[in-house]
Amino acid sequence: GFAHPHQQRTYDLLSQTCPVQANPRRTHPTMSDDSFDISEGAAYAVLYTVLSLFTLLAILAAGYCGHSRLLSKLGCLLRPHSSPDGSAIASGDDAEKASHTADFFLAARSSASARAIALSFFASGMGAWVVYGSTEMGANPELSWLGVLGYSGASAFPALIVCAIGPRVRRITGEKAFATTDFGLVRYGRLMQLSVAAISVFYMFIFLVSEMTSISNVYGLLVGLDTFSDTTIRYTTSIAISLAVFTWFYTSLAGLPASIVTDKFQAGLMATLVFVLLIVACAHPENRVSKQEFAVASNWTTDGLMAAVTLVIAIACAEMFNQGTWQRVWAAKSVKDMRRGFAAGSFMVFLLMMFFGIMGMLAYANDPTSYDEFAKFAYLGFFDLILPLNTFWHIVVLIIVTALAASSVDTLQTAIASIFSSDLLRLGFSDNVARALTRLLLIAINIPAVIMSSQ
């Protein structure tokens, strides 16, 4: 990330409640005096309710409640349109049979429409980190518009790369691949496969840890805890454990199909709530700014351009090793669905990142002195805007953050498992054994991730 040269930033301490200088235009007390007032019990209720709903969707996706047309129309079921050898599946019975194989559990092969791919990429790529990522760009007048546009474009750009090269990767690897590790094996040999696998696992594991850290600290912030204190570690760790257990449970039930199905609903939930929150936050009297005040935060700078270029290069390179994105290449029904889905998903990602970036600009415009003197931190600008809202809207933010984190975490879990999937099947393991080993692998991934996120 980028910040003022003298700003001391620590993303892992997102829930720090900072003392701030009062703005004469504001009527509410400073954040240190008037913190968020959601009770721990209410926060737990939101967390478990949202995660339970996603688990129910996964149970439906796994077919435990039948395979009715109604469930299919509601988007709760995914069915393959071709077999792993590339041949079309003619009947519904064949599709149902294919949906119970280990291959479909691990790859959701040839089952997702363009709409499903778009919503899945949008939901899985936008984790809890977005509430402070582009927000910091917007709340820093030295970066401002170009920083926000750069972060938004950088986050959307990987999908456009996949649009361009995804069809060729899928054609070279065939219809039995699971990730770009298989492309490395087919094109360059075992050493390249292992290299791609090592980099991918490292990148996605760090992503997983950061998601668990982010949601834990956001929950801590919204219930008024100070995560600097050792006494709050138990609470924030319990949030990470809950997220890990629920996502592990429902991805273990239905694999990648569960991740894609839940992504679709998570994306719809996030888009709706973010739109409503945009209206409510901007309409609140204490968040209104004049054209002259907004002009202070609205700048086009060389530093912003440098940030934008750096972010595009950094994020594009890193995201090429995110196997959660590449899994959707083989999950798409066709190349046409793949391209249309990633293009639409890229646009949705861009819009969401722009939303949080502009929220950061509004926060800075509302109280520039505190940000300039670092009494407030740019990456917490979004929370400064929602502070004067009533508790109901704070709960809405918790729902959004929970959906954001769950969609990313379940994708990362299945993506890390996918790296080893082809070798499990190639070695001749039965479908049941392959699924069991995948579930054990997911446990092995989550335990150290939770431990590291609690540090």
- Sequence-ordered list of residues with C-beta below 8 angstroms from that of 63, at least 6 positions apart, any chain: 77, 96, 99, 100, 254
Distance, CA of 348 to CA of 305 (rounded, Å): 23
CA atoms of 262 and 167, how far apart (whole Å)? 25
C-alpha 92/C-alpha 296 separation (Å) is 61
CB 366 within 8 A of CB 23: yes
Q: Concatenated DSSP letters for 329-368?
A: HHHBSSHHHHHHHHHHHHHHHHHHHHHHHHHHHHHHHH-H
pLDDT at residue 169, as a whole number: 92
What residue type is 6 in one-letter code? H
E strand or H helix at 168: helix 144-173
In terms of Cα–Cα distance, which of 159, 199, 123 is closest to 326? 159
Residues in CB range of 211: below 8 A, 6 or more apart: 127, 128, 129, 405, 408, 409, 412
- pTM of the entire predicted model: 0.81
- Which amino acid belongs to residue 448? P
What pLDDT score was predicted for residue 389? Answer: 83
| pLDDT at residue number 25 | 37
Which among 288, 284, 274, 292 is positioned nearest to 362, based on CA atoms?
288
pLDDT by residue, tens only, the chain of 455 residues: 333 333 333 333 333 333 333 343 333 333 444 567 788 888 999 999 999 998 888 888 777 666 667 666 666 666 666 555 555 554 455 556 656 677 788 788 888 889 999 999 998 888 778 887 888 888 888 988 999 999 999 999 999 999 999 999 999 988 788 889 999 999 999 999 999 999 999 999 999 998 898 888 888 888 888 766 777 788 888 999 999 999 988 888 878 888 888 888 888 888 887 888 788 888 888 888 888 888 888 889 999 999 999 999 999 899 999 998 999 999 998 899 999 999 999 999 999 899 889 889 999 998 888 888 888 888 888 888 888 888 888 888 888 888 888 888 988 988 888 887 777 777 777 767 877 887 888 888 889 988 888 87
Which pLDDT belongs to residue 275?
A: 83
* Tokens representing residue 36 in the block: 């968020």
* Burial (CB count within 10 angstroms: exposed 0-12, middle 13-18, buried 19+), residue 337: buried
